[in-house]
Structure 1
């Protein structure tokens, strides 16, 4: 990490505009709550229970971890998640990252956490976010770089995330994943057994010549 360090940092001062965009973008937004399959097989999504009895209606469920991966999240939480999904970028041994994570957990914000543990991950972070300052909060298309409790709290409030956790007891937050998938170690080649009484191989000289 020494060659490409990530930097725990204070947030950039662009907070007011971001909150304004969140408030404007969230006004009047509808979130699909039902999947409707018509008799002809066509599929539509709606936020209202359809009146047609001939159609097959399936409530949409948000996967929430848990033992079976299908614990239902509260309606209000599903709504805000659909509009403003949360991604948190962190690094090991980053105190502001730990504090930011704790805030999100206290509020019960379902999130995707991406970790930056290696130089390759740092390079990928720089490519996708044009910075190596951490933590980074992605709230839909909006972004905060650096942790500030006041600014992060106000951003989450503006997006509509509840102040108190509404997560069911079965919810399990997925583990953080690095930006670059770890390389899988290649299994060591197994040398075929040498036939009995076979001569020992000769040493190779320069150019591959054996002698």
Structure 2
């Protein structure tokens, strides 16, 4: 598929750091509190920092709006704020050694991230549309794109985004399992209307019974 390692390109780190600093100042000014997913009587879903009257209809959510349940603990407030502003996605393949190093860096630092695998021609084409190349690993932090793995480069961008320098993740937290970059769904076969109904020939009218009392031989005229 032509996937190769690629040296990291320098991106305007100073601008990214300035934007991150402003966002983090706003986040630190907010009071730490849970975010609730509220399901209304009509089924409409809304999010609020205040619990509703019917607590059974509210579910605390973690970074990215995902429920804290289902095998993962809720993220600490500050980390949740950073992850919602600058979500991290790692693009990898099974035969990419630098991808493993990048994954280990994110995990050891306690950065919640989504992982997308590139293993098919469709995945490679999608990666080229995203990054302009087919090199791996490929990392996105918010809208920032980092091609290739560099410990120092990734660390600088994570610092600028406001991610903690050491892990603050709960011990029970688990990142979601890696998923293919492109999910191929087979289209359901189109069934023609005439194939859904059994064609039946019109029933032939039955012959009236022959009166054998006046015609013992049953002769028909």
TM-score by length of 2: 0.65
The equivalent of 2:21 in structure 1 is 23
1:158-186, CA deviations, whole angstroms, 9 ceiling, x for partnerless residues?
Answer: 111111111112112212111122566x9
Quote how far apart the aligned CAs of 1:153 are.
0.5
- Structure 1 residue ranges without an equivalent (≥5): 187-211
| Contact 1:86/1:139, CA 8 A, preserved across alignment | yes
Q: Which has the larger radius of gyration?
A: 2
CA–CA separation in structure 1 for the residues paired with 2:133 and 2:25: 31
Contact 1:64–1:171 (8 Å) recurs in 2: no
Asked if structure 2 preserves the Cα contact closer than 8 Å seen for 1:11 and 1:144, the reply is yes
What is the SS of the residue equivalent to 2:130? Answer: helix
Match of 2:113 among 90, 111, 114: 111
Are the equivalent residues in 2 in contact too, given 1:6–1:134 (CA < 8 A)?
yes
- How far 1:26 moved relative to its partner? 4.5
Which position in structure 2 is the counterpart of 1:191?
none
Q: What number of residue pairs does the alignment pair up?
A: 176
Measured after TM superposition, the shift of residue 69 of structure 1 is: 3.6
Give the structure-1-normalised TM-score: 0.68
> What does 1:2-151 correspond to in 2, within 5 Å?
5-16=2-13, 17-24=15-22, 26-29=24-27, 33-35=34-36, 60-62=60-62, 63=66, 68-69=70-71, 71-151=73-153
Residue 152 (str. 1) matches residue 154 (str. 2) = yes
Contact 1:32/1:46 (8 A) holds in 2: no
Query: Residues of 1 paired with 2:164 and 2:140: CA distance?
Result: 17
- CA 1:131–1:22: 2 relative to 1, 3 Å: farther
Q: Which has the higher helix share?
A: 2
Structure 2 unaligned segments of length 5 or more: list them.
189-221
1:28 to partner: Cα distance? 2.4
